[in-house]
Amino acid sequence: MEFMLLFILFLVALATALAVSMNRSHAISQAQIDLASGNVIRSAADKINTAFLEGHGFSTNITLPERIIRMEYTIDLNSNEVILRVGDNTYIRKLLTPDVSGSFVKGTNRIMNINGSIVVSEAS
C-alpha cells in the first residue's frame, strides 16, 4: 500500500514537471518566431524608409526568406504599413510614407524611389 502511494506521488510529480517543460518549450518557440518575424519586417520597413529618405533615383535590394522558422508567411504593403502574417500572429511596422506600391515576393526584391513614390517589385 505504501509503495502504491509513493508511486502515485511520483507520477504526479512527473506529470507536473512534464507540463511545466511543455509550457516552457512553447514559450521559447513563440519567442523564436517573434524574433525572426520582427527581423524580417524590420528589415523590409527600414529598406523602404531608407529609399524614401534618399530621394528620387535611389534603389536597393532586399532578400526575404522562403520561410520563417519552417513556417509559411505573407508580407503585404497597406498604405503606410508593412504587415507580416505568420501562423496566428500578425506583425505591423509603420512606414514614413503612404506612397508605396507593388508587393514583396519571397526571394530578392527591388525597392526604388521614383519621384518620391516607393515601388517594390521582384528583382530581375
pLDDT of residue 124: 77
Residue that is written with C-alpha cell 497597406 in the block:
78
pLDDT of residue 79: 85
pLDDT tens-place string over residues 43-72: 999 999 999 999 999 999 999 999 999 999
Sheet bearing 100-102, strands edge to edge: 59-64, 107-114, 117-122, 100-102
Residue range of the domain that includes 9:
2-122
What does pTM read for this prediction?
0.82
pLDDT tens-place string over residues 80-114: 999 999 999 999 999 999 999 999 999 999 999 99
Closest by CA position to 120, among listed 59, 66, 65:
59
Antiparallel, parallel or unpaired: β 89-94 and 100-102: unpaired
Is the confidence at residue 118, as pLDDT, over 90? Answer: yes
Q: First-to-last CA distance in the chain?
A: 76
Q: How many domains does the chain have?
A: 1
How far is CA 20 from its chain centroid?
27
